[in-house]
Amino acid sequence: MVAGIPTTTLALLVVLSLFAGVGITAVGPGGIFVTIALVALTDLPPAVVVGTASATFVATGLVGAESYRRSGELGAHGGKRMAVVLSVTGLLGALVGVRLNALVDESTFALLLGVFVSLTGVLVFYRTRYGSTGAEGGYDATTTRGTLGVAAIGSFVGVSGGLLGVGGPVLAVPLLVAVGVPMLVAVGVAQVQSIFVAAFATVGYVARDAVSWPLAVAIGVPELVGVVVGWKVAQSVDAERLTRVLAVLLLVLGPYIALR
């Protein structure tokens, strides 16, 4: 048992974490399923759920960013500039989110998470219908307007990550693609941002003694395996069908989490 979690529950968390890792680098929104699983399958307080999930997202961000650096997406379409702006603004937003989490009780937390999951599902669906998913994009992140847009996205994602423990790619990827950033570039730069957002969120929760390190290791290892698999999938398979399935899952799970 880890952190008082039964073996069967832990085994289910491990499997779900594997698939969550695949989602992180294949389509972006994947880490949210780690948070959902911890909320649905354990009795951990909200702070421990977010702190533990955030700790695993540091590792997935490092592996995911390196994977997309190797395949070249971080060097394309202003990827490096976007990664820096997203990371700095996301970092500041995460600090705000961590402080807000201390003011939220368990029922409010579940409601917020449910609404957030549903919103993410809508954004992912929007991406599949109207977002750019090819190699070319219509968004220029090197202009002042483009930089401010990326900064706004980074700030919003940072606050959400610090508050709800959902990881940067969950919102960053759909938002970036919705404004015209190519899908794989968006996934790649979101991995970089997640390192900083998750790291500073984790530091905040460590200070509150709200991270279960044994559980973080238990679910983090399969997450990392999934991250590598997801990157390979993104490089070789059209992700449109996967993304639609993910959108449906998010829209179904959102109300469930909010009302549980």
**pTM, whole model, 2 decimals?**
0.83
- Helix ranges (H only) for 71-178 are 79-101, 106-130, 144-164, 168-178
Answer whether 254's CB lies under 8 Å from 246's CB: no
pLDDT at 172: 87
pLDDT at 131: 56
Q: pLDDT tens-digit profile of 156-197?
A: 888 877 777 666 787 788 888 777 788 888 899 999 988 888
- Specify the DSSP class assigned to residue 75: G
CA angle 24, 122, 260 (to 5 degrees): 85
Give the pLDDT score at 138: 61
| CA neighbor of 60 nearest in space, from 231, 223, 219, 248 | 223
Q: What is the pLDDT of residues 81-99, one digit of tens each?
A: 899 999 899 888 878 887 8
Query: Which pLDDT score is estimated for 67?
Result: 95
Where does residue 209 rank: exposed (0-12), middle (13-18), buried (19+ CB within 10 A)? exposed
Q: What is the pLDDT of residue 75?
A: 80
The pLDDT of 66-88, averaged and rounded, is: 87
Residue given tokens 């977010």 in the structure block = 50
